[in-house]
């Protein structure tokens, strides 16, 4: 699954790079999303695989801090990129005549840069806040990785409760802000689609949003399993399983969904594969 995640996202990146017909804003954002998913997977999964195969489950302080920083950086970058992709669909459907002006290559590059910068700031902020605390309890983290909520349970002192609240507020505000903008974009998109007179035209227009909308539902659905699950007695195995749905399955399913649901990308992958392995028949 880990190798498939890497290969699937690398295939999407290589296809977009090679096919000039895919050099559009939508696929530029998709390429950036694939990069963030690869880096997110590399930051989490290898360590998890090592711990599964080893009987000595330990991680250094620096490695734990690095894992939290990179996981939050790439996780928030994905959320920001999904928001930008929603805005791209909004402009393409609601303002098609102004699309080339509003989504110029320079503007798209600037949006991607802001997504990466925003993700880095969020990752650094959360990491500094958490590791500013004093840890005086057991050094055993009841989680398969250096998870923030599991780390906060090991902290002690008067600052623990306020810091925990700050971390939760910062993360929830950023994620819900992105979700709100995505939902707002799709409200305008649906209003524009309903004004299209023909059923075929409505279906064709909406089909350009299906893959992005599916990833958004999956991204926020899996995240809510971890962060919004009701409090109660949970075993280590159940916590690990719930966390794995977000950290492993989302990057794993993303290239599958985009490849299968996006006809233009699927055709480009087939052409690239054909030219690579059967050049005489293409």
Indicate the Cα dihedral angle 11, 14, 18, 23, nearest 10°: 100
Residues 6+ apart with CB under 8 A from 83: 178, 181, 182
Question: Position of tokens 């794995």?
Answer: 244
- What's the predicted TM-score (pTM) here? 0.85
Least Cα distance to 8 among 38, 29, 28, 30 occurs for: 38
Beta strands in 24-169 (DSSP E): 134-135, 155-156
- Tell me the backbone φ, ψ of residue 156, rounded to 5 degrees: -140, 165
Quote the pLDDT of residue 9.
86
User: How does 51-72 read in b/e, with b if 16+ C-beta sit within 10 Å?
Assistant: eeeeeeeebeeeebbebbbbbb
Helices (H), 19-60: 25-53
Quote the pLDDT of residue 203.
87
The encoded tokens of residue 22 equal 């895919």
Least Cα distance to 64 among 119, 175, 4, 145 occurs for: 145
User: How does 83-92 read in b/e, with b if 16+ C-beta sit within 10 Å?
Assistant: bbbbbbbbbb
Beta strands in the chain (DSSP E): 134-135, 155-156
Quote the pLDDT of residue 114.
95
10-residue averages of pLDDT along the chain (282 residues): 81 86 88 90 77 67 82 90 94 91 90 94 88 70 65 73 80 89 94 89 86 86 65 50 64 77 77 71 63
The encoded tokens of residue 37 equal 């998913």
Residues 6+ apart with CB under 8 A from 233: none
Q: Are strands 155-156 and 134-135 parallel, antiparallel or unpaired?
A: antiparallel
Quote the pLDDT of residue 235.
47
Q: Given CA atoms 251, 254, 259, 265 in this order, what sign does their dihedral have?
A: negative
């Amino acid at each position: 699954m880990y190798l498939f995640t890497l290969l699937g996202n690398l295939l999407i990146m290589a296809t977009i790079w090679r096919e000039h017909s895919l050099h559009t804003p939508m696929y530029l954002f998709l390429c950036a999303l694939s990069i963030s998913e690869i880096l997110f997977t590399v930051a989490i999964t290898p360590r998890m695989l090592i711990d599964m195969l080893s009987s000595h489950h330990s991680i250094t302080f620096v490695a734990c801090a690095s894992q939290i920083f990179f996981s939050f950086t790439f996780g928030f970058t994905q959320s920001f990129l999904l928001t930008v992709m929603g805005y791209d669909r909004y402009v393409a459907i609601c303002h098609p005549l102004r699309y080339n002006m509003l989504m110029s290559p320079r503007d798209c590059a600037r949006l991607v840069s802001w997504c990466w910068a925003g993700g880095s700031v969020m990752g650094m902020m959360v990491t500094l806040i958490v590791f500013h605390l004093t840890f005086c309890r057991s050094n055993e983290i009841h989680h398969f990785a250096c998870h923030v909520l599991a780390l906060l349970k090991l902290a002690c002192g008067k600052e623990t409760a306020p810091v925990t609240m700050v971390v939760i507020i910062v993360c929830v505000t950023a994620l819900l802000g992105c979700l709100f903008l995505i939902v707002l974009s799709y409200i305008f998109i649906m209003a524009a689609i309903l004004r299209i007179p023909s059923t075929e035209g409505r279906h064709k227009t909406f089909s350009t949003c299906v893959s992005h909308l599916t990833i958004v539902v999956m991204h926020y659905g899996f995240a809510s399993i971890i962060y919004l699950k009701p409090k109660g007695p949970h075993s280590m195995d159940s916590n690990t399983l719930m966390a794995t749905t977000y950290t492993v399955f989302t990057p794993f399913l993303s290239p599958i969904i985009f490849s299968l649901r996006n006809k233009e990308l699927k055709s480009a992958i087939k052409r690239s594969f054909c030219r690579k392995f059967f050049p005489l028949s293409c």
